[in-house]
Structures are given as structure tokens and as C-alpha cells.
């Protein structure tokens, strides 16, 4: 049985990849992931703000609009609040490469085109085998158009692809107005894969103290449906590898993602909850499913439930929407 997959041009032993998490900060945890069968190590993000802070002698980065009120400076985390600064991040790539015999995939997170993307070259020189680009931008200005939001992403990807030779994956938000068209543009720019999706972290309100409180909750399997839906739409219709990230907690979730058309999945929350060793459980039970269902390869399974087999995807989507609404009975 062949479980090997193509992941951003890298040949991996199987499709279950530990995603970006704090595990990469601790070499003992990294070794535990390797022992559990991890085919690669994905580092958490280095942020645009960190790079610009360092470039300006640790002065806080502010957009012109944010400089109009003095409280803006307090919004950004202080440099010491990040576990790894820009220089330490590069050093950690080398330490991980020395600790385990696995490809290291680094990550850059930003929201604006600009000089910070040049750090991608330093990441490549540090030994990263590939790079994730996480362009997280939530427009709050009514004057910002959807086309401008797309343009930001496209320009960042264009700049990074011009700077490095290693594979580059783009981690997308699900909120773009036309994901298929955007995916096609990113493919034309040379993106080596799409990761679906970036999780949208939402703050909560403290109504007694009139404060906004940040909350970070682990994902649940309920988040997988949106990933499956869009993966099934894009797979086979846009020629770019797809990676599902968010909501994958069990072996059946892995199967569903691959049947939707994913080349691989990333798992984070389930590992944070159960520990790095849980990866071995996922892998063993996924392999058992393939054996029981007589699959000879992951490729044989991939895309079997995608919309590429549907003659009229738009009509199917509309019909499925109507049918779903009629299913509820009190």
C-alpha cells in the first residue's frame, strides 16, 4: 500500500502533517513528533510586525492611519512577548534540522506588501525546505474594496516567489469573494499549494468591565465541513495542490479531506489536546481504513467525492442548498 503524497513538491511518507504550533519551539517535542511518524515539521509564523520592529531598532510598527491616535502603539505585542524573534527563528530552523531527519517548513505571516517579505530569502538560506505564507488581513475600512484585499495577497505572493526557489504554500482565509478565481491567479503566480483555511480568531466581550478579550480556542470537527466543501469545489478544477487545515481530529476526518481532493491534511488542535504521540494513532487508524477498504494508494482515494465528477457544479451547489434547508424537522 502506497501512502506517499506530494506535499508542496516534497515527497512525504503519508498525508498527515503536524501543522504550525508551539511544538516547534521545543526540540524534545519535535523529536516526539518524529517518533510518532511526522513526515515534516511545520513551524509557527514569524510575523511582519516582528521583522519591521527589528528593522527599525524595535520601534513599534504603525500604519499611517493608526498613528492618528496615541493608543495605537499599545495594540501590538512587545518584542519579548514572542517566543522567537527574527534572528532566533532562523537559528531554530537550523536546530530543528540538526535534531530530526525531516524537512522543515517555515511560515511568514503578514498583511501588507513590503520589504518584510525579503525575510523569505533568509528563511531559505537557513535551510527551510518550503515556506507557508499566511496573509491575514481583515478589512475594517469601508473604503477598502474586495479587489484591494485580493491585490494585497497577490502582491505578497508575487514578491516571495521572486525571492526564493523553495516551494511556497499560501494559507487562505475562506472569506474571499471568489476563491476559485483567486486560486487560479495564485497558481498562475507559481504558488505550490493552497492551505485551507486560516482560522479566524474572534475576540469576546467583557460586558461588565467594557473590555475586549482575546480568546484562542482549539478547533473542533465541526470546522471541517467548510474545508471539505471548498476543497471539493477546487480539486481538479484548479491545478494546484490543496492542504486541509482546521477541524481534522480523527482518522475519518483525514479520509474525508482526501476524498474531497486534498493532497494532505494538517493537524494541530488534536495534538495539542492529546500530545504529539496521538499522531501515531491517527496514522495507524488511517492505514487500517485503507486496508479494510482495499485502497492501494492515497492517490486512488483522492478526489473521489470532489465536484470534478459533477457535470454542473453550480446547479449541484444550489440544489444541495435547497435540499439541506428542507431536512430540518422540529
Q: Which CATH superfamily is domain 5-325 in?
A: Aldolase class I (3.20.20.70)
Residues in the chain: 330
Q: What is the mean pLDDT of residues 74-93?
A: 78
Residue 316: Cβ within 10 Å count? 13
**pLDDT tops 60 at residue 275:** yes
Of 79-88, 189-198, 260-269, minimum mean pLDDT range: 79-88
pLDDT class for 279, splitting at 50, 70, 90? Answer: very high
**pLDDT tops 90 at residue 327:** no
Average pLDDT over the chain, rounded to an integer:
91
Query: What pLDDT score was predicted for residue 77?
Result: 67
**pLDDT tops 90 at residue 286:** yes
Residue 118 CA to its chain's centroid (Å):
20
Query: What pLDDT score was predicted for residue 120?
Result: 97
| β partners of residue 47 | 109
Which one has a higher pLDDT value, 156 or 65? 156
**pLDDT tops 70 at residue 187:** yes
Q: Which of 291, 290, 235 is nearest to 260 (CA)?
A: 235
Q: Which residues contact 128 (CB under 8 A, 6 or more apart)?
A: 93, 104, 105, 106, 166
pLDDT digits (tens, 9 = 90+) for 49-79: 999 988 775 444 444 444 433 344 455 566 6
Domain ranges of the chain: 5-325
pLDDT digits (tens, 9 = 90+) for 100-146: 999 999 999 999 899 899 999 999 999 999 999 999 888 899 999 99
Query: What pLDDT score was predicted for residue 81?
Result: 65
Q: Which residues contact 123 (CB under 8 A, 6 or more apart)?
A: 46, 89, 90, 93, 106, 108, 131, 164
CA distances from 21 to 34, 170, 180, 269 (A): 15, 17, 28, 9
| β partners of residue 5 | 12
Contact between 179 and 230 under an 8 Å Cβ cutoff? The reply is yes
Query: What pLDDT score was predicted for residue 58?
Result: 47
Cell of residue 86, nine digits: 527574527
Residue 47: Cβ within 10 Å count? 23
Q: What is the mean pLDDT of residues 251-276?
A: 98
**pLDDT tops 80 at residue 168:** yes
Using a pLDDT cut of 90, give the percent of the chain over it. 76
CA distance 36 to 54: 36
Contact between 309 and 237 under an 8 Å Cβ cutoff? The reply is no
Of 37-41, 67-71, 128-132, 190-194, minimum mean pLDDT range: 67-71
**E strands along the chain, which residues?**
5-7, 10-12, 16-18, 41-42, 46-47, 104-110, 130-135, 168-172, 193-196, 204-206, 211-213, 242-245, 264-267
Start-to-end CA span in the chain (Å): 46
Amino acid at each position: 500500500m502506497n501512502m506517499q503524497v506530494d506535499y508542496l513538491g516534497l515527497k512525504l511518507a503519508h498525508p498527515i502533517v503536524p501543522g504550525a504550533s508551539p511544538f516547534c519551539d521545543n526540540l524534545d517535542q519535535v523529536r516526539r513528533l518524529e517518533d510518532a511518524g511526522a513526515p515534516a515539521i511545520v513551524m509557527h509564523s514569524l510575523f511582519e510586525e516582528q521583522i519591521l520592529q527589528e528593522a527599525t531598532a524595535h520601534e513599534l510598527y504603525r500604519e499611517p492611519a493608526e498613528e492618528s491616535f496615541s493608543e495605537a502603539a499599545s495594540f501590538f505585542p512587545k518584542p519579548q512577548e514572542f517566543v522567537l524573534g527574527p534572528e532566533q527563528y532562523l537559528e531554530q530552523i537550523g536546530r530543528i534540522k540538526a535534531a530530526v531527519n525531516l524537512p522543515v517548513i517555515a511560515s511568514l505571516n503578514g498583511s501588507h506588501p513590503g520589504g518584510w517579505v525579503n525575510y523569505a530569502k533568509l528563511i531559505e538560506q537557513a535551510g527551510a525546505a518550503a515556506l507557508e505564507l499566511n496573509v491575514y488581513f481583515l478589512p475594517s475600512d469601508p473604503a477598502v474594496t474586495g479587489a484591494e484585499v485580493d491585490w494585497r495577497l497577490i502582491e505578497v505572493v508575487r514578491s516571495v516567489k521572486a525571492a526564493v526557489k523553495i516551494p511556497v504554500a499560501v494559507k487562505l482565509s475562506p472569506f474571499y469573494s471568489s476563491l476559485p478565481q483567486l486560486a487560479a491567479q495564485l497558481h498562475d503566480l507559481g504558488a505550490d499549494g493552497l492551505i485551507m483555511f486560516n482560522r479566524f480568531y474572534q475576540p469576546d466581550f467583557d460586558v461588565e468591565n467594557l473590555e475586549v478579550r482575546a480568546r484562542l480556542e482549539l478547533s473542533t470537527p465541526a470546522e471541517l465541513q467548510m474545508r471539505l466543501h471548498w476543497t471539493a469545489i477546487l480539486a481538479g478544477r484548479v491545478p494546484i495542490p490543496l492542504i486541509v487545515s482546521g477541524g481534522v481530529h480523527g482518522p475519518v476526518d483525514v479520509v474525508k479531506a482526501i476524498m474531497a481532493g486534498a493532497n494532505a491534511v494538517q493537524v494541530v488542535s488534536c495534538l495539542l489536546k492529546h500530545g504529539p504521540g496521538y499522531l501515531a494513532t491517527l496514522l495507524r487508524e488511517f492505514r487500517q481504513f485503507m486496508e479494510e477498504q482495499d485502497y492501494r494508494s492515497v492517490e486512488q482515494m483522492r478526489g473521489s467525492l470532489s465536484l470534478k465528477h459533477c457535470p454542473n457544479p453550480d446547479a449541484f451547489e444550489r440544489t444541495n442548498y435547497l435540499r439541506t434547508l428542507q431536512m430540518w424537522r422540529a
